[in-house]
Every structure is written in structure tokens, then in C-alpha cells.
Amino acid sequence: MKNLTILFVLFLVFSSGLFAQDYIYFRDQQKRIAAKNIKITAAEIRYENYDADDGQVYIINPDRVNLITYENGEVRLLQKKTKIINTYDFKKNLITFHLFDLVISNFTISYERIISNGKVGIQIPFSLGYATHINVNDDFVISKFYSGLNFNFYPTGQGKIRYFLGPGIRVGTGHDNHHNNDNQINPDSFYGKLLINNGVIFSPIQPLSLAAVLSLGIRYFPEAGQHNEEMKTTAAFSFNLSYRF
């Protein structure tokens, strides 16, 4: 349609044979203006009215102009600029190493897939624990294994600095942090957690990211019933290193 419009305008110009003066043809209006002393730059078009001798200079945006014809027969087409949108060219897969989990003797990695134009991420963690007793952990559960599913929502999309918030569910096996009456380690049993994750991510270079994540929620651990702690609130902090591909 655009090409047809240009051809139609050119047909009118050439068929009329009116090259006695310069003409400026507009994109959004079915009109032309007779002009003289036309000067074109990337930012503006300056001209004077052909029929006026007062020297008044008019300025218009080049995006408004379709073409200019000159009295010597030259025709100049003006291409409308394409607006440049500042976007972060992100890749949609992340492998994350949870560095802070080493403090509580867990080796944890996760995979995240970014979807929905960078606004949503689906993350699957995988963790193996290698501790039998941790003095700094008052959560009763010494995790031996866990996995789960996190939904991360990025309000501002992807970028060098970004924030996310979202729910997560975690299921695994572990044992009570306390010893039984025989001073033996309790056997591993099931536990589950429902969390709200809040995180801030910084990407110094595009493939690598650093993140600080705070998680708050509730934990269900049936084996802790003897301590009246079968269900309780829980919190966790994680400092992560991610590779994007």
C-alpha cells in the first residue's frame, strides 16, 4: 500500500508537468505545499513559502514528509525513521549455582526458563545435602534432597538489574536436627515447604548474573511433631551465580 501511494503521487507529479516550483508532499494529509529554499537535515526540514517574499522560514519534522519534488525535475523520497526501542537482548535459559547453600552443607543448582517476553520465569531447583547435624540451623530439617517448582515474576522484564517475586513449592527428604534419646541420628523422612521468593539480580555482563534471594513461608515436617514443630514458619537466604544461554 505504501509503494502504491508513492507511485500514485509520482504519477500525479509527472502527469501534471508542474516543475515550475518545488513541492513538499505530506504523509498524513492529502495535500502539498509550494516551497523554495528547502534545506533538509536528519532532524528537520526548513523551507519558505513559494508565494511569499517575507523571508519567513518554516520548520517541519522529516517524518511528516513523503517526498519532495524540485523545479529541475528531481524527486526526493523521504523514508520514515523507525523508532528504536531500548531493549535488553536476553537469552531465555539460566543455570544457577546456589552458593550460600554450601554454608548449610547443601549442593544446589537450578534451571530456569524465561517466558512471556521476559516477564515470567519457571525455575526447577535440585539439591543434595551432605550434613548430619548443623549447629546454625534451627529449622529442625537437615535436608538430604529436595526439588520443587518456582514461579518468578519480573515486573520490569529482563535487564542488567531486575527484581523478581513469586511463589515456590519445595519437597524433599531430611531428618530432625536433634538427636533421639540414644543420641542417634533420626532417619530421613518427607518434608515440604511453601515459599514466597523475593530476589534482586545484577548482570555485570550479559551471560553472568549475581542474585540475592530471600524466601519466606511455611514448612511441613511430620517427624518434628514430637517437638510440636510439625508445621512452622520458615525463612531462607540464598546468594546465587547464574549462567545465561
Does 108 fall in a domain? yes
For the chain, how many structural domains are there in total?
2
- Identify which of 159, 129, 132 has the alpha carbon closest to the alpha carbon of residue 144: 129
Considering the domain architecture, whether residues 70 and 113 belong to the same structural domain is answered as: no
Percent of the chain whose pLDDT exceeds 90: 49
Does 8 fall in a domain? no
- Locus of grid cell 549462567: 243
The string of DSSP codes covering 57-87 is -EEE-GGGEEEEE-TTS-EEE-PPPPPPP--
Q: Structural domain of residue 127, as residue ranges?
A: 93-244
Considering the domain architecture, whether residues 58 and 117 belong to the same structural domain is answered as: no
H or E element at residue 49: strand 45-49
Does 194 fall in a domain? yes
Helix, strand, or coil here: 203? strand
Considering the domain architecture, whether residues 104 and 163 belong to the same structural domain is answered as: yes
Residue 148: phi and psi, rounded to 5, are: 165, -155
pLDDT in tens, 35-93: 999 999 888 999 999 888 888 999 999 988 988 988 887 888 887 765 544 455 678 99
CB atoms within 10 A of CB 121: 20
- Locus of grid cell 513469586: 166
Which pLDDT belongs to residue 72? 82
- Identify which of 162, 155, 172, 152 has the alpha carbon closest to the alpha carbon of residue 215: 152
- Identify which of 174, 212, 168, 214 has the alpha carbon closest to the alpha carbon of residue 193: 168
Q: How distant, in Å, are the alpha carbons of 71, 74, 159 from that of 38?
A: 12, 13, 43
pLDDT in tens, 133-189: 665 545 567 889 999 999 999 998 888 899 999 999 999 998 876 655 555 666 788
Cell digits of residue 118: 521476559
Considering the domain architecture, whether residues 128 and 208 belong to the same structural domain is answered as: yes
Residue 9 in this model has a pLDDT that exceeds 60: no
Considering the domain architecture, whether residues 57 and 155 belong to the same structural domain is answered as: no
- Locus of grid cell 529449622: 139
Q: What value does the mean pLDDT take over residues 239-244?
A: 96
- How far apart CA 113 and CA 111 sit, in angstroms, is 7
Considering the domain architecture, whether residues 55 and 113 belong to the same structural domain is answered as: no
Considering the domain architecture, whether residues 73 and 107 belong to the same structural domain is answered as: no
Residue 225 in this model has a pLDDT that exceeds 80: no
Does 57 fall in a domain? yes
Which pLDDT belongs to residue 86? 47
